[in-house]
Amino acid sequence: MARAERLLELMQALRRRRAPVAGAALADELRVSLRTVYRDIAALQAQGAAIEGEAGFGYVLKPGFTLPPLMFAVDEVEALALGARWVEGRADEGLARAAKDALAKIAAVLPPERAAALDWPTLLAGAGRAGEAERVALPLARNALKEERKLRFAYADKDGRRSERVVWPVALGFFESVMMLAAWCETRVAFRHFRLDRMGRVEVLPDRLPKARRTLLKDWRRAEGFD
């Protein structure tokens, strides 16, 4: 592995972790010696990478330092393209446009032999188009999540029973055939999951969430047994 490529791999290994990681663990992952890891970390720090820690205690990468994206591997380019094209077909107009723009920015900085993976993809995304109810609900749900505001909508459950809900949005899930909103429901006084294709009269309320969305997300993960 060339040194430039190895440095990028080391940065990626650090980005994937929020807690300090031991040099020995990095050496095992990159299949290099511990001495090489120490030397490469020192080289990245000299280039301005905000890597904190020291030998024997572990290392953590602070945000704010990036390397040029010219080092994307072909597999990485294909993975990004596959995900972006799935979003183009499944999400709302705003996300679809963002996916196209992201691919265009990536293509602009890739060397020709790697940009070809975008122009002539071997991996194709066959996402079905979102239904009308999903196309209406999705941008409003995303807006409520971004602004941390309550969301109100009419809802029909699987048996067709209708109700009016006011919820505190937590996260959106994109599955093969449905989109789901995880939220705290004021009616049920508990976390619930709502299919976007069963929503109607969706409205973002001016009311701010009683809790920060990050706190709600932690509570939801705990309630669902993810933590």
Residues 73 and 57 in one domain: no
Kindly report the backbone phi and psi dihedral angles of residue 203, in degrees, each rounded to the nearest multiple of 5, phi listed first: -145, 130
Last residue of a domain, one of 37, 61, 85: 61
pTM value is 0.64
Please return the burial class of 23, using the count of CB atoms within 10 Å of its CB with bins 0-12, 13-18 and 19+: buried
Please return the burial class of 85, using the count of CB atoms within 10 Å of its CB with bins 0-12, 13-18 and 19+: buried
Residues 167 and 105 in one domain: no
Domain that holds residue 90: 69-119
Residue 127, in any domain of the structure: no
- Report pLDDT for 49: 83
With bands split at pLDDT 50, 70 and 90, how would you rate the model's confidence at 96?
confident
Residues 13 and 88 in one domain: no
Mean pLDDT of 215-221: 94
Listed residue (84, 219, 206, 82) closest to 151, CA to CA: 206
What's the number of domains the chain is made of?
3
Residues 158 and 199 in one domain: yes
Mean pLDDT of 97-121: 78
Scanning the chain, the segments in alpha helix (DSSP H) are 3-15, 23-30, 34-46, 74-90, 93-109, 112-119, 132-147, 213-223
Residues 92 and 110 in one domain: yes
Residue 181, in any domain of the structure: yes
